[in-house]
A and B are shown apart, each in its own frame.
Chain A
Amino acid sequence: DARVTQTPRDKVTEMGQEVTMRCQPILGHNTVFWYRQTMKQGLELLAYFRNRAPLDDSGMPKDRFSAEMPDATLATLKIQPSEPRDSAVYFCASGLVPPGTEAFFGQGTRLTVV
C-alpha cells in the first residue's frame, strides 16, 4: 500500500531553534508539494518540486524557510530560526505527471513553536 511518509508526526520546539521536517514521497512520483495548514489561513502551498527541481516556492517565507530534495526518495522542509507563528500542520504530498493525476498526502507534521 503506497503512501507518503512524513516524520516527525509531532514536533514541539522552542523559538529560535532549527526544525527539519522530512517527507518520503510515493516511489516513482515525480512531483512533490509542501503545504501548511492553519485555522486562519487554511491550506497554503509553500513549494513544489518536479523531478527534484523546485518549480515554485513563492509561498514560502524565504528568510527562514528552505525546501530541498536531496534525492528522489526524500524531501525536506527546514525552518531556521523557528517562530511561534510557524506553528501549524505541515503536509507533504506527491503526484505523478502526466497531467491530472491526483496528489497523495502524508499524515502531516504538527509543529508547535513555544
Chain B
Amino acid sequence: AQSVAQPEDQVNVAEGNPLTVKCTYSVSGNPYLFWYVQYPNRGLQFLLKYITGDNLVKGSYGFEAEFNKSQTSFHLKKPSALVSDSALYFCAVSPGNTGFQKLVFGTGTRLLVSP
C-alpha cells in the first residue's frame, strides 16, 4: 500500500529566508507525486507535480520540489519565503503504474512565516 510521511508538524521560517517542507513516500512502481496547499476554511489547491522527466519541478507561487528516487523523497522548497505562504501543506502520492488512482495524502505540515 502506498503511504506518505511528512515528518514535521510545523516549519517556522523568517520572511525572505529559504524554506523546505519535507516529504517521503512509499509506493510500488514509479510514483506520481503532488504538493497541495490549504488556507484556512478552504479546499486544497494544487501547487506542483512530478510525473516523469526532470527531477526538479517548478510550480505555482515560486515553489519548486525535487524528486529523489534513491531517497524516496519529494521535498517542497522556495528560495525566499513570504508571510502569505503561511498555510498547511500536503504531499500526496499516486501509484504511477496503475494510473491516476488512489491519491493518498500525508498528514500535512503547517508552515509559519514570520515577518
Contact = CB atoms under 8 A, between A and B. Distances in A.
A104 B43 CA distance: 9
Given A45-B103, A99-B51, 17 more contacts: A33-B103, A35-B105, A42-B105, A42-B106, A42-B107, A43-B105, A55-B101, A56-B101, A95-B103, A98-B99, A99-B94, A99-B100, A100-B32, A100-B52, A100-B96, A103-B34, A104-B46
Interface residues of B, number: 24
Interface string A40-68: 00110100101000011000000000000
Contacts of B100: 31, 95-101
B43 A43 contact: no
Interface stretch (A70-78, A79-87, A105-113): A105-113
A21 to B, nearest CB: 14
A91 B105 contact: no
Interface residues of A, number: 27
Most buried by B among A42, A56, A100, A102: A102
Q: Which 3 A-B pairs have the closest CB atoms?
A: A105-B43, A100-B51, A99-B99
Interface of B: 32, 34, 36, 42-46, 49, 51-52, 90, 94, 96, 99-108
A53 to B, nearest CB: 12
A73 to B, nearest CB: 19
Nearest to B97: A99
A105 B103 contact: no
